[in-house]
Amino acid sequence: MTKIHGKSVLLGMGLGVILTALLGCIFFLGYTPEMDEAKVKSLAKKYGMIEPGEITRIGVNGKISIEVEESDTLAQIAKKLQDTGLIKENMQFQLKVLNQKAEDKIFPGVYKFSGNENEQEIINSLTGGQ
């Protein structure tokens, strides 16, 4: 029985890795993908899929509804608004609410938005204009 030397095993593995890398380079040398990101997005829209951040909760009358529950924190409310596309920056919205000391003035309920309100109009709607 012959003993296998560690150097021989390492040499074999090294040669295998180099050979595999060379074959991979040769295989992918002339490869061009048939679909780019824009084509994938257009096909996804065709099948009814939307990107994250697009308006997702549109009701029958074209309004976006957000439900604020009694247990919701300001961060959770801001996340809901960001998920539906009403606000872009979650933290910026939270800071604006905190600066106006309006975090305790947001009451539970269902709020409806048209989708073109700015942050101040959203804060006014959530606090009842207080």
**Count of alpha carbons within 13 angstroms of residue 96, beta-carbon side:** 15
Hey, what domains does the chain have and what are their CATH numbers? Answer: 64-127 (3.30.1490.480)
pTM of the model: 0.54
- Please, is 72 exposed, middle or buried when counting C-beta atoms within 10 Å of its C-beta (0-12, 13-18, 19+)? middle
Q: Is the dihedral of CA 54, 56, 58, 63 positive or negative?
A: negative
Residues 99-119: tens digit of each pLDDT = 999 888 888 888 888 888 889
Task: Tell me the C-alpha distance between 16 and 39, whole Å.
Answer: 38
Nearest residue to 112 via CA among 120, 103, 121: 121
At 51 the pLDDT is: 66
Tens of pLDDT, residue by residue over 3-59, are 878 888 999 999 999 999 999 999 888 888 788 888 888 888 888 776 665 554 555
